[in-house]
Structure 1
Amino acid sequence: MTTGFPEAAPWGEQRASHADRETVVRRLQQAAVEGRIDFHELDERLERALDAKTHGELAVLTADLQGAGRGGAAGSVRELVEDRPLVLKGGLHGVVRKGPWTVPSRVTAHGGLGGVVLDLTRAECPSRAVDLEIHGQMAGVTVVIPDDWAAETSGIEPGLGGVTDRTTPDHAPDAPLLRVTGTGGMAGVVVRHPKGRERRRLERESKALTSR
């Protein structure tokens, strides 16, 4: 049956966004730092990345760099260019993001009138660092990170609500770094590790998964 609408183009022929190009640029720069490509080749690939029109044109620039910038972990080129920023808006009723999910390298949270809770304790983080831009606004933002993660909160303006960082300096050497910027707004921002009840819930969930 013909609908009259054009079929979606294959993934490689779909148009790339500015965010797609920026993500590939970061991967290429990291590959040069790791010695995977020399700086002459870096300049050449960066120019091609900035001029790329489609996902396919970006993909060929990192096809030989699997794992670059991710601590050696394998990752597909498609995952690379689909690392899109996440925007959370508390609005009137609030937003809670928790459970198993994949954290992109850039997240923005607007507290609004309902607030935002960003729980990363069961999240998968392919990147070495996550840039979190927070606007606490009227209801604030609470961020919960695993015990072995590190947090850097010096880049956020406290606003009227202030910034409360209850994380510890102890973290795993290869653990992700959460870089927080923005402003606390009226209600402020809290960045912390799990509390006792949350920690017990995580332990129960972990045991349930291992017993399957």
Structure 2
Amino acid sequence: MAALPEDRPPLIGEDDRDMAVRRLQESYAEGHIAHEDLDERLHQVLTVETRSEFAAALASLPEESAGTTSTIAAAAGRIQRRGVWRVPRNLRVESAFGRVHLDLSRAVIEHSVVDIEWQLGTGGARITVPRDAVVDIEDLRTGWKESLYKPRQHSRPGGPTIRISGTMGFGRLRIRHARR
């Protein structure tokens, strides 16, 4: 039986390859990998087609520095991020009143783990995560309604892990995986 278009693994984009090249070059410059290893891994990240092969090229590299936390905040109104935008390693979302929508499906995610901390008073929130993402909501505390999230049945390895923590007062967090 032929694979349906939806069953194909997501393509590795140029942004992903650029990020991988940068990480490999930094690891080489810092003395974490040898020159021969750098050449082999560069060839691998520039030619592989699957996420698992791509992840293998970056295996055993030192963890990226967590960096600082970026904050998106609004006292009232809507917070929305969608389209192509760079997702920081640590993201804090603060809103007293209003709705929040984060769409990570086309975002540039340079880190294997992204921590999103919610500090929401009143209002709902939605997150659309990449198809191959793994979502962890164990550290999220809700005051009024439980979060709505169904983990994917057949997730492919190699996607980012999105860890969601913090508190939500009166509102519900809805999380869904992108269809493409």
Same fold, TM-score > 0.5, yes or no: yes
**Aligned-pair distance for 1:87?**
1.1
What's 2:31 paired with? 64
* Alignment partner of 1:176 out of 151, 160, 170: 160
**Aligned-pair distance for 1:193?**
1.9
What's 1:131 paired with? 115
**Aligned-pair distance for 1:189?**
1.4
The whole-number CA distance in structure 1 between the counterparts of 2:176 and 2:83 is 17
Q: Percent identity?
A: 22
| Deviation digits for residues 20-45 of structure 1 (CA, Å, limit 9, x no counterpart) | xxxxxxxxxxxxxxxxxxxxxxxxxx
Contact 1:109 1:141 (C-alpha < 8 Å) held by counterparts: no
> Where do 5+ consecutive residues of structure 2 fail to align?
1-25, 39-53, 59-63
Deviating beyond 4 angstroms after TM superposition, the runs of 4 or more aligned structure 1 residues are: 70-73, 80-83
The whole-number CA distance in structure 1 between the counterparts of 2:163 and 2:141 is 13
What's 1:162 paired with? 146
The whole-number CA distance in structure 2 between the counterparts of 1:166 and 1:138 is 23
Identify, as 1 or 2, the structure richer in helix.
1
Alignment of 1:25-64 (within 5 A): 63-64=30-31
The TM-score normalised by the length of structure 1 is: 0.52
Higher Rg of the two aligned structures: 1
**Aligned-pair distance for 1:82?**
9.2
Identify, as 1 or 2, the structure richer in strand.
2
Structure 1 residue 147 corresponds to structure 2 residue 114: no
Q: Compute the RMSD of aligned alpha carbons.
A: 2.9
Contact 1:152 1:179 (C-alpha < 8 Å) held by counterparts: yes
Structure 1 residue 186 corresponds to structure 2 residue 176: no
What's 2:104 paired with? 120
The TM-score normalised by the length of structure 2 is: 0.61
Larger RCO (CA under 8 A, 6+ residues apart): 2
* Alignment partner of 1:109 out of 87, 90, 93: 93
Change (3 A) 1:155 1:82: closer
Q: Which amino acid aligns with 2:126?
A: T
> Where do 5+ consecutive residues of structure 1 fail to align?
1-58, 74-79, 203-212
What's 1:210 paired with? none
The whole-number CA distance in structure 2 between the counterparts of 1:110 and 1:168 is 28
What's 2:84 paired with? 100
Q: Which amino acid aligns with 1:146?
A: P
Between stretches 82-91 and 149-158, larger displacement belongs to 82-91
Contact 2:92 2:116 (C-alpha < 8 Å) held by counterparts: yes
Paired residues, what number?
Answer: 130
Change (3 A) 1:126 1:192: same
The whole-number CA distance in structure 2 between the counterparts of 1:171 and 1:134 is 25
What's the secondary structure of 2:77's corresponding residue? Answer: coil
Q: Which amino acid aligns with 2:85?
A: W
